[in-house]
Amino acid sequence: MTDDVAVLGAGMHPWGKWGRSFVEYGAAAARTALTDAGLDWRDVGSLVGADTVRGGYPGYVAGATFAKALGWQGASVTSVYAACASGAQAVGVARAQILSGLADVVLVVGADAAPKGFFRPAGGDRPDDPDWQRFRVLGATNPTYFGLYARRRMAVHGDTPEDFAQVKVKNAAMGALNPNARYRRRVTPEEVAASAVVADPLRLLDICATSDGGAALVLSSMEFARRHGVSEPVRIRAVSTVTPRYPSTVLDLPDIATDSAVAAEPAVQTFRSSIPRAAYEEAGIGPEDLSLAEVYDLSTALELQWYEELGLCAEGEAAKLLREGATAPGGRIPVNVSGGLASFGEAVPAQAIAQVCELTWQLRGDAGARQVAGARVGITANQGLFGHGSAVIVMR
């Protein structure tokens, strides 16, 4: 496929709370990815950095900062910001550079040293900023809207707190097998139910933490991969970074109201469901072709929502899919075999890159005890603040 790019290397710095600079985490992940690819930093023609941010706002240099940490060698640099979708957009930029012939080898890096506690906006008054508004007007931290999503699923589809807990149980079991995960301990439904309520109905073990961590990928043209001796590399087939369509009639914070549907008919699909659909269309596949998926489980309830948005089941049937074991290891379509954000926490610019790292290892057969047998096609899915879509399809 002329539109494919090869994934020659993948690397991560373990997630946790390490108390050091994000640059250290990103540089460590980059060196690991370069070693995995069998390349030297001087072989890289371009570096794309996913911006490290604070409270949703860019301003911490990423691309050039990582290039300096690795040692100036003249590579082109780009910095990309799209909140939680930054990593996917960085992959998209790298892919475009390769397919256009601007670079043969591109290093993609994202890392963060997240503040303790809730993410919050930067200081100052910005009444036209919806993220500022939802904190200043509503006092709505992230778990507030995690809880609203969960309540909506309970009201519309009949999901239960027990269903949400089972998502955590599944992901924690996988995280226990992942050396890069922050939380590496299995949990029981009873432990989830006994944890403190944070945003009813969600409890502490239903939501993800903020974390430090880093992830990196070495991407190349297919021709370079062959010259490098890799005849059948893992390939990126599609990258989706779509935005919402007007009118948006499903509340999706930071916006605190929906658009009016009086003057225009709502779109056939929601914003979140349009993200994977665009990737499927570009790749020429459908959800039935997937071997596994890595999705953005800010909360246990949100993982269930992604099952439906990805087309793994019909609307309202996510909990049924979970109860049947279809999304667990050995099931029809395992989801978050990395352990997900439940086991990692959020390191915002790194997490979409980390999802592609997991798919790369799975499709190579290098995932160890987490390995999905016969994995050939995987998709990532997440969503960045302010309307940034994020999905990547990886194939072998």
- The packing angle between helices 22-37 and 348-364, to 10°, is 20
pLDDT (0 to 100) of residue 54: 56
Whether residues 166 and 288 share a domain: the answer is yes
Domain assignment of residue 169, yes or no = yes
Q: How far, in Å, CA of 92 to CA of 112, rounded?
A: 20
SS3 298: coil
Query: How are beta strands 292-295 and 377-384 bridged, if at all?
Result: parallel
List the pLDDT tens digit at each of the 396 positions of the chain.
Answer: 568 999 999 999 999 999 999 999 999 999 999 999 999 999 999 999 998 765 444 556 689 999 999 999 999 999 998 889 999 999 999 999 999 999 999 999 999 998 887 877 777 888 888 888 888 888 888 899 899 999 999 999 999 999 999 999 999 999 999 999 999 999 999 999 999 999 999 999 999 999 999 999 999 999 999 999 999 999 999 999 999 888 888 777 777 778 877 778 887 888 999 999 999 999 999 999 999 999 999 999 999 999 999 999 999 999 999 999 999 999 999 999 999 999 999 999 999 999 999 999 999 999 999 999 999 999 999 998 888 999 999 999
Q: How many domains does the chain have?
A: 2
Minimal CA–CA distance to 77: which of 37, 54, 45? 45
From the centroid of its chain, how far is CA 4?
20
**DSSP states along 257-286:** SPPPSSSSPPPSS-HHHHHHHHHHHHHT--
Whether residues 216 and 241 share a domain: the answer is no
Q: 47: which DSSP letter?
A: E
Q: 51: which DSSP letter?
A: P
Whether residues 161 and 108 share a domain: the answer is no
Domain assignment of residue 368, yes or no = yes
Q: How far, in Å, CA of 154 to CA of 275, rounded?
A: 24
Whether residues 228 and 247 share a domain: the answer is no
Domain assignment of residue 319, yes or no = yes
**DSSP states along 246-259:** SS--S--TT-SSPP
* DSSP H or E stretch at residue 198: strand 197-199
Q: CB of 147 within 8 A of CB of 200?
A: yes
Domain assignment of residue 318, yes or no = yes
pLDDT (0 to 100) of residue 53: 64
Dmax (CA) for the chain in angstroms is 59
pTM for the predicted model, two decimal places: 0.95
Residue 52, amino acid:
T
Whether residues 62 and 110 share a domain: the answer is yes
Minimal CA–CA distance to 237: which of 161, 196, 289? 289
Domain enclosing residue 162, as ranges: 130-208+237-395
- The residues near 242 (Cβ < 8 Å, ≥ 6 apart) are 271, 274, 275, 278, 389
From the centroid of its chain, how far is CA 89?
11
Whether residues 104 and 163 share a domain: the answer is no
Whether residues 246 and 164 share a domain: the answer is yes
CATH number at residue 221: 3.40.47.10
Minimal CA–CA distance to 51: which of 10, 79, 11? 79
Whether residues 376 and 268 share a domain: the answer is yes
Task: Please give the angle made by the CA atoms of 210, 212 and 213, to the nearest 5 degrees.
Answer: 125
